[in-house]
Amino acid sequence: MNPLTIISIICLAPAVVILYFMLGKYEGYFKDNKAFFMIMLGMGIGIFTGILSISVMVLNIILILGVIFLIEITKMLVLLQKPFRLNFDTPFYGFGMGCGLGATFVFINVFYAGLVEIAPTTMIFILLLSINYIAINSSTGAIIGYGSSKGYFWKYLFRAFIAHGILGIILNIVYSDISLSGSFSLLTIGIIYNIVLMMYVDNKILKKTIPKEMKKARKKINR
């Protein structure tokens, strides 16, 4: 199999898994075609921001935080549009958009870095990187989506930026001249951080955004 194809699969597979485990249980609370469109839109935004991030790949934390802010405010601008603003299901679409964004963002950066080779350590490194970027972007997408659904736009943009910024600082160290084992350790710490964040998103954002009437109706149907 072509190495580029393998890299593409590694970058996209975590998005499919995360979408299934996070949104699968909420099927029926959002529109599938709308969610699919948001994933595709996120992939397009990921290509754009990925190319932009390459131009500032200088290990300057201020510039990195600037790119993170641009990513998050782009999500907010999309989720503030009429089809999403003040709608309860917007966090689901924000989550999907973030998944698509994270997948293509990683692919662009990996391709630019020349990591297109079939070596076990390289494959593991890209996989861990993909999980981190996809998880953080999907979580912050849901957080911003929740702010859009409730009318607290800037408050939740700030929360998303802080959440993403913390991981950005961790990953900035990964890109510096540290050992391979050190990079793997930091990427693993990043994944643990993302798991905790996704648990927060699941319990405090996705579950909370569903109207009580819909929850009661679902329970009656399942009886």
Domain spans, the chain: 3-222
> What are 60's two structure tokens?
């300057």
**pLDDT per position as a tens digit, 1-49:** 677 888 899 999 999 999 999 999 999 999 999 999 999 999 999 999 9
**pLDDT per position as a tens digit, 106-122:** 999 888 877 766 788 88
Sequence-ordered alpha helix ranges (H) in 151-211: 153-174, 180-200, 207-209
DSSP 202: I
> What are 134's two structure tokens?
């996809």
The mean pLDDT value for 59-79 works out to: 90
Phi-psi region of 115 (alpha: psi -120 to 50; beta: other; left: phi over 0): alpha
pLDDT of residue 59 exceeding 80: no
- Count Cβ atoms below 10 Å from residue 200 Cβ, excluding itself: 14
Separation between Cα atoms, residue 35 and residue 129, nearest integer Å: 24
**pLDDT per position as a tens digit, 178-204:** 777 888 999 999 999 999 999 999 999
Would you state the pLDDT for residue 199?
A: 97
Q: Compute the half-sphere exposure of residue 103: CA atoms within 13 Å on the CB side of its CA.
A: 25
Q: What is the mean pLDDT of the chain?
A: 90
> What are 62's two structure tokens?
């201020």
Would you state the pLDDT for residue 56?
A: 67
Helices (H) and strands (E) in the chain, counts: 9, 0
Separation between Cα atoms, residue 84 and residue 209, nearest integer Å: 13
Would you state the pLDDT for residue 52?
A: 85
